[in-house]
Amino acid sequence: MANYYVLLGPPGAGKGTQAKLISEKIGVAHISTGDLLRENVKNRTVLGLEAQGYMNSGRLVPDDLIISMVRERIALPDCSKGALMDGFPRTVAQAEAFDKMLQDAFNAKIACVPCIEVPAVLLIERLSGRTMCPNGHVFHQVFNPPAAEGVCDECGAALYQRDDDKVETVTKRIEVYENQTAPLIAYYDQAGILARVDGTQQIDSVTAQIFSALGIDGA
């Protein structure tokens, strides 16, 4: 059976870290709009060139660009088995468009929305020590260091620090989350599919909480 999930939570909450672990384990596609956008920026596509300025300043890329990017991604064959969304939706307009997309493409609804909750002080600490590889594997200099410095454990690619993880941009992104994305907590709560997760715990404990929210045996 195909299941569609959304991981909600502020920047630095651990969405990417958890999405990689969980999507591999349950065999659904991992869709990170941040990773898709960074790929477009790297390849200097029309979308990438348009998105870059918004990303560098910590603002959201306009809804219409994001919605059409996700519509194309969700049409690929791997999504027919289900998908775990990471960093999307981020506005009520995106959430409404996503509900409609799932309905039209798969006659499906979102099964569950785990919301990873982490206070702002911890987010800043996490984002300022984050390194990642071009394939979206995420590390932290202190909390989740790679075995060999600067090298991805998963794929051997070189790790880098994101331009938008500097402190001024991080503060802006947390503010944007509060204003534009946090309203989705009430949106999904009203739909009866929100599950709050304590994101201050260790990575494996957060994974266990998410599995329990999804009603999946994570062992």
**DSSP label at residue 199:** T
List active site positions: 15, 90, 130, 162, 173
- Closest CB to ligand ADP among residues 50, 107: 50
- Closest CB to ligand ADP among residues 122, 193: 122
Binding residues (CB under 6 A) for ligand ADP: these are 9, 11-17, 33-34, 37, 54-55, 58-61, 66, 87-88, 90, 94, 126, 129-130, 138-140, 143-144, 164, 173, 202-203, 206
Q: How far is the CB of 203 from ligand ADP (least distance, A)?
A: 4
Nearest residue to ligand ADP, scored by beta-carbon proximity:
34
- Helix extents (H) in the chain: 15-26, 33-42, 46-56, 63-74, 92-106, 120-128, 167-176, 183-190, 203-214
8 neighbors 188 (Cβ within 8 angstroms) = yes
Alpha carbon distance 3, 199 (integer Å)? 23
- Closest CB to ligand ADP among residues 70, 112: 70
Distances 147 to 21, 59, 144, 207 between C-alpha atoms, Å: 17, 33, 9, 21
- Closest CB to ligand ADP among residues 58, 107: 58
Q: How far is the CB of 121 from ligand ADP (least distance, A)?
A: 13
Q: How far is the CB of 34 from ligand ADP (least distance, A)?
A: 2
Tokens for 167? 């402190």
